[in-house]
Amino acid sequence: MSGAEADAHPVGEVVTREVTFDAADIADFARRAGDANPLHHDPAYAARSRFGGIIASGTHYTALMMGLVATHFTSRRPSVGLGFEFIFRRAVPAGSTMRMSWEVARIEPSARLGGDVLHLVGKMQDAATGRHMLEATARILLLAEGTGITGPA
């Protein structure tokens, strides 16, 4: 890995974002994602559930977690996702604000892939209580200087 690549996103770098999940956004996302689970759009049904109200779809907040990676890591160098894994710890209730974060845990040079594989560790916590709602890992390819998504420039 070159010095420029190490400076682009060093081990220990953390990116965060806070998101509030309101009931209307939860229902809209679930509908657009094809998730017809009434826990995401039927207040009466959700109130009778073990959750006591509307909860966000896992696809909703994992998409936001993946989007945070894409937005941040493409800001300095082209990159593509290689894989994500999510572990759901708790439901995300409507009206809650979550703090999403990713940390660069390790960088692995890959001549074969034409860049560096960044190993990321992510989490999502309730911003008010600090309770962990989600744990995640990811691998992304940060392309080498002068390399485009489709190959050498």
Q: What is the pLDDT of residues 58-67, one digit of tens each?
A: 999 999 999 9
Q: What is the pTM of this model?
A: 0.89
Ordered structural domains, the chain, with CATH:
3-21+57-152 (3.10.129.10)
pLDDT, mean of residues 95-122: 96
Planar angle of CA 122, 66, 2, nearest 5 degrees? 75
Of the candidates 60, 78, 55, 92, which has an alpha carbon nearest to the alpha carbon of residue 9? 78
Q: How far apart are CA 145 and CA 73, in angstroms?
A: 14
pLDDT, mean of residues 103-108: 97
Residue 96 has pLDDT above 70, yes or no: yes
Tokens linked to 108:
């692995």
Q: Virtual CA dihedral for 123, 129, 133, 137, nearest 10 degrees?
A: 10
Helix segments in the chain, DSSP class H: 3-8, 23-33, 43-47, 58-73
| 76 confidence band (pLDDT: 50, 70, 90) | confident
Tokens linked to 61:
């907040």
